[in-house]
Amino acid sequence: MNIINLQNAAQQDITFEPKADTISASPIQTFIDSLRHRLSVSRQPKALKPFSPGDIKILLLENVNQSATNIFQEQGYQVESYNGALTEDCLIEKIKDVHAIGIRSKTKLTAKILEHAKKLIVIGCFCIGTNQVDIDYAASIGVAVFKSPFSNSRSVAELVIAEIITLARQIGDRSIELHTGTWNKVSSRCWEVRGKTLGIIGYGHIGSQLSVLAESLGMHVLYYDIVTIMPLGTAKQMSTLNELLNKADFVTCHVPATPETKNMLSAPQFSAMKDGAYVINASRGTVVDISSLLTVMKAEKVAGAAFDVFPSEPANNASGVYNDTLNNWTSELISLPNVILTPHIGGSTEEAQCVIGNEVAHMLSKYINEGTSVSSVNLPEISLKTLALDKENTVRILYIHKNIPGVLKTVNDILADHNIDKQFSDSRDNIAYLMIDISSVSQDEIKQLYDSLNQTNAKISVRILY
């Protein structure tokens, strides 16, 4: 029988069935299709997948969109889904058995958890931020990480526009008052946003999208970023954060969670702001120092604030009474006027989630099926033209290794008796990734090749697809 191996990190061998091109929606259908395939394998001229997809296990957490599940099931993979994040213990148990995991912003994939992921090939962040994953550790054990680069940017930008107007008009407070029976018609300290200045910290996908929307409302846009970025419309880049803070009526944060952005807005920055300015944070909860903000809000230096993200957030809606026990500012924050609090919904629209589900599921499938790492956030980005799987005895070697001298020579010595059709290698810091298609390989030789590659000093992980 034509045995297929997809082997990961030498921790174990996963033996797969012959090349199957089944597309099915249920395990029973997968089984029937696979039987049909086996019976007709000699008559099937083309095989589209390098292994039996039914053996691939995918774990999806945090309500990853159905569009992703559909794609994985079309591939024939097994999919297990959960609505929320899992506890650390539960995650450690579950991750031991899966080849791919899909998460959003709540699931922390630390080195401690990833140490248990002996079969894991790839992680999909079905969101933009990747700060919840130890991506360097993942690379060091040969696990690729993918994310969606921009598919919820528009949703976040629209939320921020809504918050700017809501803060300027005190809509949140008026609504709460009327819900509780109070008619409080006021115009004092309520403003149009036309002609006001928006200060955007972080002019990436979200910041720049927001810039365009804000200008269409007649706002002036200033931005601050650590890199020089082409302004859109009539926006202007500020050379220092303080310059932006001095001039902006609304200050909004769109930077990633990094050591440099931790408490990026704290007491000194609030005092540099204009009196009566507003603060918005829909980036990460670490970026704004909330206890300092409370001080300046009580002093009426800051006229309002909107938070979509918090230093600690519940794992799911079920456990979701929001009472941040790590910080004692929660009750103070909710008692202040003109404060909008939303439960991390910036990217939570039907449109964004559906596109992200599709996009990241396709990246994971391509990596699992072909080894293509284009758009990975932690591995060198490589691809070769789709493997000619219909070509007799052709195999693809995926070799992730330490980026040290002499590796190519060692590997090519092992492959010396075979015809190398294509070969591509690239490196990223300490990690390199080599993809090779070789032809004229017999069944026995595949095992020998795997064993030899597995014993090389530089090896991090080896997979052989055919």
Ligand X SMILES: O=C(O)[C@H](O)COP(=O)(O)O
Catalytic residues: 284, 313, 344
**SS3 for 167?**
helix
> Scanning the structure block, which residue is given the tokens 């955007």?
200
> Based on CB atoms, which residue is closest to ligand X, 106 or 428?
106
| DSSP of 273-296 | SPTTEEEEE-S-TTSB-HHHHHHH
> Based on CB atoms, which residue is closest to ligand X, 150 or 329?
150
Scanning 217-349, the segments in alpha helix (DSSP H) are: 241-247, 267-272, 290-298, 330-335
**Pick from 17, 50, 57: nearest CA to 36:** 17
Q: How far is the CB of 242 from ligand NAD (least distance, A)?
A: 12
Amino acid at the residue 286: T
> The tokens of 93 are what?
């148990």
Only segment of 30-38, 85-93, 251-259, 425-433 that touches ligand NAD (CB under 6 A): 251-259
Planar angle of CA 72, 43, 369, nearest 5 degrees: 25
Only segment of 198-206, 266-274, 299-307, 377-385 that touches ligand NAD (CB under 6 A): 198-206
- Positions in 343-402 near ligand NAD (CB under 6 A): 344, 346-347
**SS3 for 79?**
strand
Only segment of 28-36, 37-45, 89-97, 250-258 that touches ligand NAD (CB under 6 A): 250-258
Among 5, 30, 152, 376, binds ligand X (CB under 6 A): 152
**Number of residues lying near ligand NAD (CB under 6 A):** 32
For the purposes of burial, counting CB atoms within 10 Å of the CB of 417, is it exposed (0-12), middle (13-18) or buried (19 or more)?
A: exposed
The mark string for 312-351 relative to ligand X (x by CB under 6 A, - otherwise) is --------------------------------x-xxx---
Partner whose binding site includes residue 205, from ligand X, ligand NAD, none (CB under 5 to 8 Å by kind): ligand NAD
Distance CA 303, CA 352 (A): 31
Half-sphere exposure for 395 (CA within 13 Å, toward CB): 26
Among 200, 282, 293, 296, binds ligand NAD (CB under 6 A): 282
List of residues contacting ligand X (CB under 6 A) = 104-106, 127-129, 152, 344, 346-348
List of residues contacting ligand NAD (CB under 6 A) = 128-129, 150, 152-153, 156, 201-207, 224-227, 254-258, 260-261, 282-284, 308-309, 344, 346-347
